[in-house]
């Protein structure tokens, strides 16, 4: 990659003037304002300041020694010591030619691939998946796809909630209130119903607790009912994942860790990490300004373990089994305290572990009234129903636009558009802000939406239906027009964009990148004739079309969104 080549040569030049420069990060980034150049670096300023040097003088000396004549048209020093690099057209042309041969254009696999675990989706057994799980599922899946594209080894683990006190009530409900016909037609609603019925009746508390204890002690009948509920829920989850095209390497679930919970609490006590407080066992964080008044319970006073204990066991298992460089948890922002505590306790407990632990949290989905998204009758929206509606609305739009298409084709396309729109509206917003769910906006062909990008892709493809594809190996690429250069340079920063997403766990950077790409493509296509141009010019411009199509397709794929040839 050109960017990393400039970076490494800059580093060498700096080393000639600064003794301990290898300690410093010397970064080269795409220019935020193309008027200044293609790439920029502001590294010299911090570097000079730290050593009491004059940044401008340092910059002058470094630029004197910088050998970039083969890559750059110019290297300018601006202001107190910014460096701006402008790339030669020839170098860009070569990069495009090379990208035509790459599996994922403009993306070079990580030089040191990492093992990364992503814990996402993680719905709860016997409950419907709701919109709260949609963000985790869509975001987690996109991060997994992007990290894999960058060459990392990713392990996705669906940590489903398949254990806890609710099973006492569910089992009692199963034994005494179950409507078999209702269970057959809509198992999750029926499980939800029996749970609510038991939960609302205080006189059944004791009986429910008794069923829970029996389950915990391994009672055959209760275990069988419990497994049955997991099975029914998993079928529902799998249907949703199938529609969303989301896969997991593992679905271990909370119950997998039951055998380890006792020993974890014992060990925390033995190491003096945890201690007794009012009958419970807790971990305190006296040295942490944020957590010093927020102890974490690891065993309740009734002797039961909890979410934190299970997550500690999970973390230990993952570290031992996969030796990950990083573990990413994707959940709602309300779990921030839980993960702060969890990560802290784990560091006390295992100070050998050098990997990163990241909580990638997100805000809520709001209804048009600005309140948490609900159905008209005030209930939580079910994910499967949301997907149905997305597809139906897309079907209507596709039928209006293309009445002549076959029914089955309309169905296929509307799935791609409907699900894509839903995913994109989630991924394109800043994950930490709440966003308002708006069907019209997400399905619009204008603006920063999936249908707009999918449409841009179909425009590229339609060009190739009108002309013959050249022999890519033989095309001489010539970039003269400003619009061609602007498009080409943007294409080249695809890999860098994916790296930025991976760094901050923010797929919205990629959405912005793709939106910008589609805009540059439009401007290019409006001002540079392709099909009507003479052969040499046409073929060179077709390279830009082809690469735009491939980057759009790969970029959308990185978001878990498919493309279609027509729409």
Of the two residues 311 and 499, which places its CB atom closer to ligand ARG in the complex? 311
Nearer to ligand ARG, 84 or 331 (CB): 331
> What is the closest distance, in whole angstroms, from the C-beta atom of residue 142 to ligand ARG in the complex?
17
Q: Are 117 and 131 in contact (CB under 8 A)?
A: no
Q: How far apart are CA 417 and CA 450, in angstroms?
A: 7
Q: How far apart are CA 158 and CA 249, in angstroms?
A: 8
For 455, 467, 518, the CA distances from 460, given in Å and listed in that order, are 9, 12, 10
Identity of the residue, 237 or 524, whose beta carbon is nearer to ligand ARG in the bound complex: 237
First and final C-alpha spacing in the chain: 35
Distance CA 418, CA 434 (A): 21
Q: How far is the CB of 212 from ligand ARG (least distance, A)?
A: 18
- Nearest-approach distance from CB 547 to ligand ARG, in angstroms: 39
Question: To the nearest whole angstrom, how small is the minimum distance from the Cβ of residue 207 to ligand ARG?
Answer: 26
Between CA 291 and CA 520 the distance in angstroms is 48
Under DSSP, is residue 481 helix (H, G, I), strand (E, B) or coil? Answer: coil
- Comparison of 124 and 358: residue with beta carbon closer to ligand ARG: 124
The per-residue b/e assignment along 368-390, b for 16 or more CB within 10 angstroms, e otherwise, is: eeeeebeeeeeeebbbeebbeeb
Shortest reach from residue 166's CB to ligand ARG, in Å? 12
- Give min distance, CB of 269 to ligand ARG, in A: 23
Instruction: Give the residue with the Cβ less far from ligand ARG, 63 or 291.
Output: 291
Q: Least CB distance from residue 119 to ligand ARG, whole Å?
A: 5
Distances (CA, A) of 245 to 238, 241, 248, 457, 567: 10, 6, 10, 20, 20
Nearer to ligand ARG, 105 or 132 (CB): 132
Q: Using CB under 6 A, list all residues that contact ligand ARG.
A: 119, 122-124, 159, 161, 311, 314, 329, 331
Phi, psi of 493 (to 5 degrees): -95, 15
C-alpha to C-alpha distance for 208 and 26, rounded to whole angstroms: 62
Structure tokens belonging to residue 340 = 């702060």
CB of 315 to ligand ARG, least distance (A): 8
Choose between 122 and 508: whose C-beta lies nearer to ligand ARG.
Answer: 122
- Which of 329, 515 has the CB closer to ligand ARG? 329
Q: Smallest gap, in angstroms, from Cβ of residue 505 to ligand ARG? A: 15
| CA pair distance 114, 64, nearest whole angstrom | 37
User: Which of 359/541 has CB closer to ligand ARG?
Assistant: 359
Give the full edge-to-edge strand order of the sheet including 115-119. 153-157, 115-119, 326-332, 356-362
| Local structure of 532: helix, strand or coil | coil
Taking each helix axis as running N to C, give the angle between helix 407-427 and helix 220-244, from 0 to 180 degrees, rounded to the nearest 10.
Answer: 100
Non-local CB neighbours of 200 within 8 Å, separated by 6+ positions: none
The least CB distance from residue 329 to ligand ARG, in Å, is: 6
Smallest separation, CB 155 to ligand ARG (Å) = 14
Dist CA 7 CA 71 (whole Å): 12
Residue 40 or 331 with smaller CB distance to ligand ARG: 331
Closest CA relative to residue 285, chosen from 341, 208, 235, 225: 341
Cβ-based nearer residue to ligand ARG, 159 or 382: 159
């Amino acid at each position: 990659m050109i960017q990393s080549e400039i970076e490494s040569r800059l580093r060498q030049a700096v080393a000639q003037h600064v003794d301990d420069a290898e300690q410093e990060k010397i970064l080269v980034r795409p220019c935020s304002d193309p008027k200044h150049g293609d790439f920029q670096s502001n590294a010299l300023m911090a570097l000079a300041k730290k050593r009491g040097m004059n940044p401008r003088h340092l910059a002058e000396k470094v630029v004197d020694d910088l050998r970039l004549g083969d890559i750059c048209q110019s290297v300018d020093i601006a202001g107190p010591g910014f460096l701006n690099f402008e790339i030669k057209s020839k170098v860009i042309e070569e990069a495009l030619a090379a990208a035509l041969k790459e599996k994922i254009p403009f993306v070079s696999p990580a030089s040191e691939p990492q093992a990364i675990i992503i814990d996402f989706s993680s719905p709860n057994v016997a409950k419907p998946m709701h919109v709260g799980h949609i963000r985790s599922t869509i975001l987690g899946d996109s991060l997994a796809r992007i990290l894999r594209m960058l060459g990392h080894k990713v392990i996705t683990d669906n940590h489903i909630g398949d254990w806890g006190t609710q099973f006492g009530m569910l089992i009692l409900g199963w034994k005494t209130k179950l409507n078999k016909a209702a269970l057959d037609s809509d198992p999750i609603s029926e499980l939800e119903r029996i749970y609510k019925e038991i939960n609302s009746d205080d006189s059944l508390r004791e009986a429910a607790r008794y069923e829970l204890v029996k389950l915990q002690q391994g009672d055959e009948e209760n275990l069988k009912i419990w497994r049955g509920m997991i099975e029914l829920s998993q079928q529902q989850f799998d249907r949703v994942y199938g529609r969303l095209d989301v896969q997991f390497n593992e679905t271990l679930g909370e119950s997998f860790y039951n055998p380890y919970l006792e020993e974890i609490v014992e060990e925390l006590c033995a190491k003096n990490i945890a201690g007794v407080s009012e009958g419970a066992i807790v971990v305190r964080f006296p040295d942490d300004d944020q957590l010093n008044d927020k102890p974490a319970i690891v065993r309740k006073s009734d002797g039961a373990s909890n979410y934190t204990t299970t997550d500690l066991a999970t973390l230990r298992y993952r570290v031992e089994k996969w030796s990950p460089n990083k573990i990413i948890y994707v959940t709602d922002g309300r779990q921030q305290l839980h993960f702060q505590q969890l990560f802290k306790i784990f560091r006390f407990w295992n100070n050998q572990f050098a990997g990163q632990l990241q909580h990638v949290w997100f805000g809520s989905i709001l209804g048009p009234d600005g309140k948490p998204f609900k159905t008209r009758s005030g209930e939580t929206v079910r994910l499967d129903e949301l997907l149905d509606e997305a597809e139906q609305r897309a079907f209507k739009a596709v039928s209006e636009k293309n009445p002549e298409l076959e029914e089955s084709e309309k169905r296929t396309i509307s799935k791609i558009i409907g699900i894509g729109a839903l995913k994109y509206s989630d991924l394109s917003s800043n994950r930490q802000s709440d966003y308002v769910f708006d069907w019209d906006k997400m399905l619009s062909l204008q603006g920063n939406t999936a249908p707009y990008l999918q449409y841009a892709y179909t425009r590229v493809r339609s060009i190739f239906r009108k002309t013959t594809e050249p022999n890519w190996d033989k095309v001489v690429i010539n970039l003269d027009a400003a619009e061609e250069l602007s498009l080409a340079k943007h294409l080249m920063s695809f890999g860098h964009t994916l790296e930025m997403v991976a760094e901050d766990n923010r797929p919205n950077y990629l959405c912005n990148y793709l939106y910008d790409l589609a805009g540059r493509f439009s401007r290019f296509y409006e001002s540079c004739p392709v099909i009507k141009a003479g052969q040499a010019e046409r073929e060179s411009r077709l390279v830009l079309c082809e690469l735009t199509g491939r980057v759009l397709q790969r970029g959308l794929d990185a978001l878990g969104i498919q493309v279609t040839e027509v729409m």
